[in-house]
Structure 1
C-alpha cells in the first residue's frame, strides 16, 4: 500500500480510505460481524484511514469501529470523525450545531464511544449557518492544543469558507463528494485546496453504488437512502444506468470492473486526492483495492470522459432541501 500525507500538514494516509457509514444502516441492514471483518481486512491490506461520523447510526458506527480496533495498535488507524449533525430518536435530522461548547461536547462523547484518547482528524460535517466558521475551527484548535485532536479537516464547504477556516488553523483535508458524476469540486474548490495545500478525501466515488456496476433498480429496500435520492428516482435512473453501461464497455476493454475504473478515475485526478470506499463486505473491499493496480492512460481517460461526460448525470446528489444547506454548492 502506498502512503501519502493528507495535504501539507495532515497525517500519513493510505492512498485509499475506508468509509464506514454504510455499516450503520444508511443503505439498509448490514452484518455486524462482516463489517468488523471488513475493517480488519482493510487494515491488513494497509488501509489505515477509517472515516466515520458521530451521527452515523446515532453513535453505532463509532462503537462498531471501537469493537473492530480492540487489541490493535492505535497508530495502525488514522481515525477521521465528522460531527455536528443533530439526530432525533426517530432517526430524523435536526440541523447542525457548530457552537464551540457543542464541539467539545461532541468530542467528549466520540472519545468515549471510540475508546481512544485522541482523534486523528476532526471535522464539522456541515457548515452551521448560525456560527462563524472561525468559532467552530477555533474550538477544535483548542482541542488540538489540549491533545485530544491531531488535525483539523473540513467537509462540504466552499472556497470562501475554506479560506476563513485555514486562516484560523492549518487544515489537513477537505472531505467532499467527488466522482465521475459529481464534479462540482472542479469549479473552484479543488483549485482553492491546492493553493492552500489542503488534501482531498473524496467520498461518494461510486455515487452511492450508482456507478458501481452492481446496482439494479430492484435493490433499494426500506431504510435505504437511495430510495429517496434524486439520482435513483424514476425519470432519472434509466438515464443514469445508461451511463453506467457506457462506462462498463470501457471497463471491459481494460479487463477491469466498472467500480474499479470509476475509483481509478478519481485517484487519477491528483496525488492529493484520497478516494474513500464505502465497502461493507470483504468482497467489495477486495474489488475496490484492485483499483489501485489500474493505471489509466490519456486514451483511457478520454474514453471514460466520452462515456460519462461532465454534467451528464440526471438528478442532484441530494434532495433539494439538503442541497440548499451545502455550503460547497453555493
Structure 2
C-alpha cells in the first residue's frame, strides 16, 4: 500500500480508504455481517488504515459493526465518522424514508459524539465530520461546538462534508478543518471549480466518496438486479438516457482498462487519485474481492496519454445525469 500525508500533519494514511456505508445501509437488503467483518479485517492486512462511517448509516448499526474489528485494532485505524443527519424519532431508513433532516445544533453534537463513541467502542474519533451544513444554525456555533470536542479529547481532527467553498473558508478561520468530503468521480467533477483547489491551498485533505459513481464505473453493475430498497434505484444516473450514456462511457473506459490489463474500476479510482496529491478517495465495498481489486488501483500510474484518452471519452459521453434526486438535492448547496 502507498500512503499520503493527512492534511497539515505527520499522519500517513493509505492512498485509498474504505467507505463502510454499504455494509449496513443504502444498497438493499443484501447484507452479510460476516463478510463485512472479514472485509474490514482484510483491509488492515492490505495496509488500508482509513475507515469512513456515519451515525446515520442504518441508525448507528454501521458503527456497531465496525466496532467489532476496531476495538482490537484501534492503533492501526484512522477512524472517521459523521453526524448531522437525523430521522424523526430516530427511526426508519434514511436512504428511502421521508422526514430526514439536518441537525448541527450544539445540543445534538454533544449527544451525537457520545453515541458514536459508545457504538464504536472507542475513547476518541480521529476525524469527525459535519455530514451537512445546518441551514438553521450559524456555522460558527457548529464549528465552535466541534472544536470543543477536540479540546475534550473526544475528537482529534475536524471535517466537513458537501459544504460550499465560502463555508469551508469561514469554518477554517474558526478551527482548522483537516478534511473535506464530497463526491468526486468521472461522473461528477463539479468540485474541480472551487472546492478542490481551495483544499489544496489550505492544506486540507480532500476525501472523495463514490469514486466509482456508486458502482456505475465498475462496468459490472446489473441495474436490473437492484432491489426496490436500493438507494440507487431513485438516482437519475440509473435511468433512461442517462443510464444509456453511462453504460457506453464505462464500456469505452473498459477498452482502455483492458489495454493496460486492469479493470475499469481501477482506472476510475486511479484517475481520481491522479488529480491532486491531497486526495484520498474512499471507495465503498462490503466484499473482500472488490476491496482487493480497489487496493490495486494505488499502483496504477496513468500516463498523460491515458489521462488525455479519458478526457476524450468523457467528452464523447457527457450526458451523465444529475447525481441525486430532488430528495437528496435539498441538502446540497452550490458554491
Helix, strand or coil at the partner of 1:208: coil
Partner of 1:129: 135
1:183 to 165, 184, 189: 189
Contact 1:179/1:266, CA 8 A, preserved across alignment: yes
- Provide the residue aligned with 1:90 in structure 2: 92
Establish whether residue 62 from structure 1 lines up as the match of residue 63 from structure 2.
Answer: yes
Distance in 1 of aligned mates of 2:317 and 2:175: 34
**What runs of 5+ residues in structure 2 fail to find an aligned partner?**
none
**3-state SS of 1:214 partner:** coil
Alignment equivalent of 1:197, drawn from 180, 203, 208: 203
Aligned equivalents of 1:166, 1:139: Cα separation in 2: 14
Q: 1:218 to 1:40 in 2, by over 3 A?
A: same
For residues 42 and 90 of structure 1, the distance between their equivalents in structure 2, rounded to whole angstroms, comes to 30
Whole-Å Cα distance in 2 between the matches of residues 113 and 297 of structure 1? 44
1:25–1:223 CA contact under 8 A, matched in 2: no
Pairing 1:1-330 to 2, within 5 Å after superposition = 1-9=1-9, 11-28=11-28, 29-72=30-73, 74-88=74-88, 89-91=91-93, 92=97, 93-309=99-315, 312-327=318-333, 329-330=334-335
* TM value normalised by structure 1: 0.96
Please provide the CA RMSD for this pair. 1.4
Distance 1:254 1:121 in 2: 36
Distance apart, 1:10 and its partner CA = 7.7
Task: Check the 8 A contact 1:38/1:282 in 2, yes or no.
Answer: yes
1:71, 1:228 → 2: CA distance?
38
How far residue 310 of structure 1 moved from its aligned partner, in angstroms, is 9.2
Distance 1:220 1:81, change over 3 A: same
Distance between the aligned counterparts of 1:254 and 1:46, measured in 2?
A: 24
**Secondary structure of 2:68's partner?**
helix
Whole-angstrom CA distance in 1 between matches of 2:328 and 2:240:
19
State the distance in 2 between where 1:178 and 1:224 align: 21
- Structure 1 unaligned segments of length 5 or more: list them: none
- Cα deviations across residues 114-148 of structure 1 (Å, max 9, x unaligned)? 10000000011011001111111110100100100
Q: Is the 8 A contact 2:71 2:122 kept in 1?
A: no
TM-score using structure 2 length: 0.95
* Total equivalences in the alignment: 328
Deviations 1:137-179 (A, max 9, x none): 1101001001000000110011000001001111111011000
Shift of 1:216: 2.2
Q: Deviations over 1:52-108 (max 9, x none)?
A: 000100000000000122422x11110101111012423234210011111111001
Question: Is the 1:6–1:200 contact (alpha carbons within 8 Å) kept by the matching residues of 2?
Answer: no
Runs of 4+ in 1 over 4 A off after TM superposition: none
